[in-house]
Amino acid sequence: MLIRGRLLIDPTRSPELGWLRIESARIAEIGTGDPPRDQPAQTLGGRDCIISPAFTDAHIHLPQIDSAGCDGLPLLPWLESVIFPAEIWWGRGHALSMARTAARRMLREGTFNFAGYLTSHAEINREAVAYLRDKTPLRFIVGRVAMDRNAPDELTAEDRARASSRPVPSPAMASLGSNNNHRISANPRFAVSCTDELLAEIGWWHKEHPEAIIQTHLAESQQECALVSELFPRDPHYTAVYDRANLLTPTTLLAHCVHLSDDEWRLIAQRRSIAVHCPAANIFLTSGLFDYHAALRHDIRLALGSDVAAGADIAMPRVARGYIETAKVRRMTVDPDSPIPTPADAWNRITRENADLLGWPDTGRIETGAAADLLVLRVPETWLDEHIVGRLIYNWSSRLIESRIIAGQAVDPAKL
Ligand SMILES: [Zn+2]
């Protein structure tokens, strides 16, 4: 296969006209200008097309795929009245159809890789993971949610019983994610839903499986932080609760990180854990404005996530826009020195950097030898200038995507 267009190899520079030769699912050759005469039979793209790496979402809840837009509540009441019922619904036999909807929507918006959450039901989640692995081309890290308190019985029973399921990936579930493109993580929901014992059990498990990924939420809303200090009165702060349980590791994804002290930022930096900034969700639930300046000051490893359904939008370019806008609002309000990410920085994060942080350094980039995971974007001719990346972010629509190429194959999300 040959793909022609303006190659978004480095989003800080105007993309130049060129071509990619795809062979055995990889980018075999990159050329500038017009393609060679002996072209392969299948050619995609054209002179008005932008060729971009596909997107990676570092935080999404598949069971919440139809819950976006239920507005008016802050985090904790929203979980209770909108999200827990949706997760119960997933567990009552709807997991496969919801997983399919989520996969279709991600692919439609150009997201080919994600790290996400399922629910706390072991058995049905095994089926959902098998579906994602066998019937979709997505790369993923997913985990069964571990939770044993402060939620309906139907969601906490399995972890309270510690019988039919373990808080950590069971061998049956772990075997579903046996290669690097499909991995099973441990997902303690957050400190509010987990007893000390449950967190400790996951921490001990991680000591035996240091390569495994842990996903959790940290300091999303102030009400949540206050409740955590009531539930864990002996810990000096929220981040220490996870650290005491051995849950702050270089393979830990900490979603939100909105309300953190300097001590907490330092601890996260020291442990090399990854903060996942979910800008749309933070605004939707009025949780707060992520402190990008602090993350930079502390040299935090930073990923971006949609956090569907607290984030109403699954499209990563819109998440990138929220990332820029949150920093702008902070500069206009609380921090006149707040740096503002450029569109190129934001594009890099939703492509290459998110992929690197999730352990997939062979995708999210246009490089010889990288996986041919690409988007062919058809844009108006007038966009083809030095502002192209900002134009893509601020005018994003899935209609811009002409073709989705995953591992060298054109994929149609409607056919999943
Ligand atoms: Zn979340």
- Strand-pairing partners, residue 55, are 111
The per-residue pLDDT for range 328-356, each reduced to its tens digit, is: 999 999 999 999 999 999 999 999 999 99
Distance 276 CA to ligand 1 centre (A): 10
Distance 13 CA to ligand 1 centre (A): 33
Query: Which pLDDT score, from 0 to 100, does residue 66 have?
Result: 96
Distance 397 CA to ligand 1 centre (A): 24
Average pLDDT, the chain: 96
Distance 8 CA to ligand 1 centre (A): 30
Distance 343 CA to ligand 1 centre (A): 24
Distance 59 CA to ligand 1 centre (A): 6
pLDDT confidence band for 169 (50 / 70 / 90):
confident
Query: Which pLDDT score, from 0 to 100, does residue 170 have?
Result: 76
Distance 217 CA to ligand 1 centre (A): 6
- If you count them, how many residues does the chain have? 416
pLDDT confidence band for 165 (50 / 70 / 90):
low
The per-residue pLDDT for range 205-254, each reduced to its tens digit, is: 999 999 999 999 999 999 999 999 999 999 999 999 999 999 999 999 99
Q: Which residues contact 239 (CB under 8 A, 6 or more apart)?
A: 218, 219, 248, 260, 263, 264, 267, 268
Q: Closest Cα to residue 306, out of 345, 326, 275, 277?
A: 277
Distance 84 CA to ligand 1 centre (A): 13
Distance 79 CA to ligand 1 centre (A): 10
The per-residue pLDDT for range 75-88, each reduced to its tens digit, is: 999 999 999 999 99
Contact in structure between 157 and 188 (CB atoms under 8 Å): no
pLDDT confidence band for 204 (50 / 70 / 90):
very high
- CA dihedral angle for residue 151, residue 152, residue 153, residue 154, rounded to 10 degrees: -110
Edge to edge, what strands does the sheet with 301-304 contain?
214-218, 252-256, 274-277, 301-304
Domains for the chain: give ranges and CATH numbers: 2-53+364-415 (2.30.40.10), 55-357 (3.20.20.140)
Residue 237: C-alpha distances to residues 196, 234, 249 (Å) = 15, 9, 17
Contact in structure between 271 and 231 (CB atoms under 8 Å): no
Distance 383 CA to ligand 1 centre (A): 34
Residue written as token pair 């309906």: 152
d(CA 344, CA 213): 28
Give 112-166 as a 3 state SS string: EEEEEECCCCHHHHHHHHHHHHHHCCCEEEEECEECCCCCCHHHHHHHHHCCCCC
Least confident range of 27-31, 172-176, 268-272, 386-390: 172-176
Query: Which pLDDT score, from 0 to 100, does residue 183 have?
Result: 96
Distance 94 CA to ligand 1 centre (A): 20
Distance 280 CA to ligand 1 centre (A): 11
pLDDT exceeds cutoff 90 at 297: yes
